[in-house]
Structure 1
């Protein structure tokens, strides 16, 4: 989810956080009220900043979670997903996508465009 959609989809973010807590994830950091904000990554030479929606740990392994929701700026969302997928590969972490009913087709099309068809979605 990109920054401009944070307020619009805050209820889905809270549902996702409770889902992850029920599944045993610990040290949850999220870009919302009541949680510590995850580390942001800044692009050198510009003002672009990427912050994962949710970062959590389970069994000693870090997981990056992104909410996959319809967006007005799919190009920006694609670049964020590619960055987080690459980062998770370099750091031996997991990158997962969380989506809800009404956003499945959008998510699958985005994954197909990025050649990330091996990603399994968490459907809430």
Structure 2
């Protein structure tokens, strides 16, 4: 999710963290109060910062999660996903999207638009 939606959907982010904890993920870093903030990446030449919603480890492998919700700025969300996917491929991380009921169609259409339709969604 993009930065402007963080406050509006903080409950979904908390539910996602609880889901990951139940699945055995450790060292969870999240972009929410009460958790350590994941590393941010700043776009060179501008003030745009990309921060993954959740970063966790499981069995020694780092996983990057982004919560996919309907957004007013789909172009910014697409560029964030493309960046996180590329970063994950370069560093041998796993990149996954978490979505909830009512946002499945939006998420699938966005993934098809940027040729990431092979990504498996975590549906909460």
TM-score by length of 1: 0.99
TM-score by length of 2: 0.99
Match of 2:12 in 1: 12
**Alignment map for 1:40-119 (pairs within 5 Å):** 40-119=40-119
Map Cα deviations across residues 17-74 of structure 1 (whole Å, 9 max, x no partner): 0000000000000000110000000111110100000000000000000000000000
Instruction: Indicate the RMSD between aligned Cα atoms, in angstroms.
Output: 0.3
The 1-side partners of 2:56 and 2:7 are apart by: 21
1:117 CA drift (Å): 1.0
Structure 1 unaligned blocks of 5 or more = none
Which contiguous aligned blocks of 4+ residues in structure 1 show a shift greater than 6 angstroms? Answer: none
Matched positions, count? 124
Structure 2 unaligned blocks of 5 or more = none
The 1-side partners of 2:92 and 2:42 are apart by: 21
Secondary structure (helix, strand or coil) at the match of 2:27 reads: strand
Match of 1:121 in 2: 121
2:34 equivalent to 1:34: yes
